[in-house]
Amino acid sequence: MPTSPPRTDLQHVSARLLRRFAAMVYDSLLLIAVALAYGAVVTFINVLLQGAPAEGERMQWGVWRFPVFVGLLVVLAGFFCYFWRRSGQTLGMRAWRLKLVDGDSGALASLKQCVLRSLVAPVSLLCLGMGYFWRWVDPQRHTLHGRLSKTRVILLPKEKN
């Protein structure tokens, strides 16, 4: 069985799927906390505007139901965009030595790339992970959302102590 020669440009080694999914598990815990905080804030604002519902009754959102949901999606996408623009890593990515970079230059991804990736990656996951498994057939080992946003997730080398 032929083996490929070792890569010397470690900053361009594409991260494997299992490592990416492990980082997603870490980040999902943070996203739950962010979503709960968002929910608490919008519920507080709703109570200020409409008053508290009677005991045993559900909170009424009326016409605000859809904007509140869109706001949640914006907050969750903003979480990723903030960390990707700041350092290229969320907390989960940092734990698994992953970094999001521009696919061409290797620099931090632009805001446009981060927004596009944060919108397309959930769709890639919700389609039974097919956007992630795209990596297995892509000649440059890009995921579908990585290809569309012109970004890639790379594996960082281990730190030497």
Q: What is the pLDDT of residues 95-140, one digit of tens each?
A: 999 999 999 999 999 999 999 999 999 999 899 889 999 999 998 8
Task: Count how many Cα atoms sit within 13 Å of the Cα of residue 95 in the half-sphere of its side chain.
Answer: 12
Per-residue pLDDT at 160: 78
Distance in angstroms (rounded) separating the CA atoms of residues 86 and 70 = 24
Q: Examine residue 114 and state whether it is found in any structural domain, yes or no.
A: yes
Total number of domains in the chain:
1
Q: Examine residue 2 and state whether it is found in any structural domain, yes or no.
A: no
pLDDT at residue 21 greater than cutoff 80: yes
Q: Examine residue 161 and state whether it is found in any structural domain, yes or no.
A: no
pLDDT at residue 5 greater than cutoff 50: no
Confidence of residue 10 (pLDDT cuts 50, 70, 90): very low
Per-residue pLDDT at 72: 97
Residues of the domain holding 27? 10-155
121 within 8 A of 131, measured Cβ to Cβ: yes
Q: Examine residue 56 and state whether it is found in any structural domain, yes or no.
A: yes
What mean pLDDT is predicted for residues 43-54? 91
Per-residue pLDDT at 6: 40
Distance in angstroms (rounded) separating the CA atoms of residues 125 and 20 = 12
Residue with tokens 């490592």: 19
